[in-house]
Amino acid sequence: MRQIPVDTSGAIVMVANSPQVKVRDRRTGEIATGTETGAKLMTVDVMFAANEEVEILSVTVPEPGISGELAMGTPVALTGLIARPWENDFNGQKRHGIAFRAVAVTSLAGAAAGAEAA
């Protein structure tokens, strides 16, 4: 499957919704886990502002990759962000979109406070 690296260097990224456990199967309540590590997967909604446009992205992150307090409005860094196009059939209808995944989501709140104090 094609993976497209996403450059976040020129973007402002903030938490739009605190991390939530990613559910693999809503009928059974099965929790999604990473195929390589087996780590529980989380979903973090972020506001991604770049090029005078703002989007809300749902980013999947392994639980160990979430660091710091990630409350709404917290500035964050997205490490290793990639976009993956997807397509499937659901009840006879084709659906498609883009899934976002990161290695880590790190709070920048402490770094911002330290920079202001300097």
Structure confidence at residue 27 (pLDDT)? 85
Structure confidence at residue 1 (pLDDT)? 58
Tokens of 28: 């059974």
The helix/strand/coil state of 112 is helix
Q: What percent of the chain has pLDDT over 70?
A: 92
Higher per-residue confidence, 107 vs 31? 107
- Asked if 83 and 48 count as a contact pair (C-beta separation under 8 A), the reply is no
State how far the Cα of 79 lies from the Cα of 61, in Å rounded to an integer.
Answer: 10
Distances (CA, A) of 92 to 85, 87, 88, 99: 20, 13, 10, 21
Q: What is the mean pLDDT of residues 72-90?
A: 93
- Asked if 21 and 40 count as a contact pair (C-beta separation under 8 A), the reply is yes
Q: What percent of the chain has pLDDT over 90?
A: 64
Mean pLDDT over each residue of the chain, to the nearest integer = 88
Left (φ > 0), alpha (ψ -120 to 50) or beta: where does 92 sit? left
pLDDT in tens, 51-64: 999 999 999 999 99
Calculate the dihedral angle through the C-alpha atoms of 50, 21, 96, 1, rounding to the nearest 10 degrees: 90
Structure confidence at residue 101 (pLDDT)? 95
